[in-house]
Amino acid sequence: MVKRNPFTTANQVNNTLQVVGVSISKSTIKRRLHESRYRGFTARCKPLISLKNRKPRLDFAKKHLKKPAQFWKNILWTDETKINLYQNDGKRKGWRRRGEAHDPKHTTSSVKHGGGSVMVWACMAASGTGTLVFIDDVTQDRSSPMNPEMFRDILSVQIQVNAAKLIGRRFIIQMDNDPKHTAKATQEFIKAKKWNILERPSESPDLNPTEHAFHLLKTKLQTERPTSKQQLKAAAVKAWQSIQKEKTQHLVMSMSSRLQAVIANKGFSTKY
């Protein structure tokens, strides 16, 4: 039963058995599952990767697998995330065997930017975290989402100063192919600046170390427990700045392992 549906609970197994006249305790059910090498787990929430995006992920991984460490150190990693004032992890529990943690049937799917209080843009490099920008601080209408023009304004102010601080004169900007990033005016702006871009494949947060830095930020916020938007912003800046260089360097230097994992998992989500 749990082999067909790993999210079947011991209660559900018990109820099904009772229908066919079999009486067995939940503790016995759990013991039998353990004897069959099943262990309880909380499903890891992974992006739902479409078949059409598996190939670009694989192509990207194969193309960059042999890049030297210095290549990754020269990248200014950028991304956006939404930070919730009140968090709900929505985790599901189930049963799986050792080695099955990242099997698609043992994970749940997430949809990007689902709910929250403040939207931020941020950058980092192997040498540390850069600026954390609150989108509503750069928009005239604080309720408006970021558009390509706002995105270009952020790049204009933030890229050069953060690259100089974290990397030096020679740098590469990493970003995904969000419509704001690929808009014609944005591409012309980047070309005029003569910036080199490393474009990340769609549905690939596991190929962006910034995602894990954001996770560290949000974990730190859980201990702060802000109760207002202003408190959330202040706590977020403090948490972002507190991420140590050793951590950002470790995240960036894991790129080779991340690429290997994408190849091994045939383009599906990885543990990263």
Mean residue pLDDT of the chain comes to: 85
High-pLDDT (> 90) share of the chain, %: 55
Write out the two tokens for 202: 């769609």
CA 262 to chain centre: 14
pLDDT at residue 148 is higher than 50: yes
Of all residues in the chain, what percent carry a pLDDT higher than 70? 85
Q: Under a CB-based contact definition with an 8 Å cutoff, are residues 103 and 264 in contact?
A: no
Which structural domain, as residue segments, surrounds residue 235? 51-89+113-264
Residue 128: what pLDDT?
A: 98
CATH code of 217's domain: 3.30.420.10
What pLDDT was estimated at residue 243? 98
The pLDDT of 161-190, averaged and rounded, is 94
In a domain, 167, yes or no: yes
pLDDT at residue 111, rounded to an integer: 40
- Residue at 67 is within a domain: yes
Is residue 6 assigned to a domain? no
Inside any domain, residue 55: yes
Please determine, for residue 262, whether its predicted confidence score (pLDDT) is greater than 60: yes
pLDDT at 71: 98
Task: Compute the half-sphere exposure of residue 12: CA atoms within 13 Å on the CB side of its CA.
Answer: 10
Please indicate whether residue 117 or residue 157 has the higher confidence score (pLDDT): 157
Q: What total number of domains does the chain contain?
A: 1
Question: Residue 180 in contact with residue 186, Cβ under 8 Å?
Answer: yes
Q: What average pLDDT score do residues 62-67 get?
A: 97
Is 24 a member of any domain? no
Residue 101 lies in a domain: no
CA distances from 36 to 14, 17, 95 (A): 17, 18, 11
- Structural contact between residues 102 and 44, judged by C-beta atoms closer than 8 angstroms: yes
pLDDT tens-digit map of 2-58: 566 776 777 777 777 777 777 888 788 778 777 777 777 665 556 678 888 999 999
pLDDT at 81: 94
User: Is the pLDDT confidence value at 235 over 50?
Assistant: yes
Q: What is the pLDDT of residue 15?
A: 74
The two tokens of residue 139 are 């928009």
Q: CA 186, 191, 197, 203 torsion: positive or negative? A: positive
Position 201 in a domain: yes
User: Alpha helices of the chain — where are they, by DSSP H?
Assistant: 10-19, 26-35, 51-64, 69-73, 148-166, 179-182, 184-193, 209-224, 229-241, 245-252, 255-264
**Residue 141 banded pLDDT, cuts 50, 70, 90:** low
Residue 10, domain member (yes or no): no
User: What is the three-class DSSP state of 71?
Assistant: helix
pLDDT for the residue numbered 95 = 65
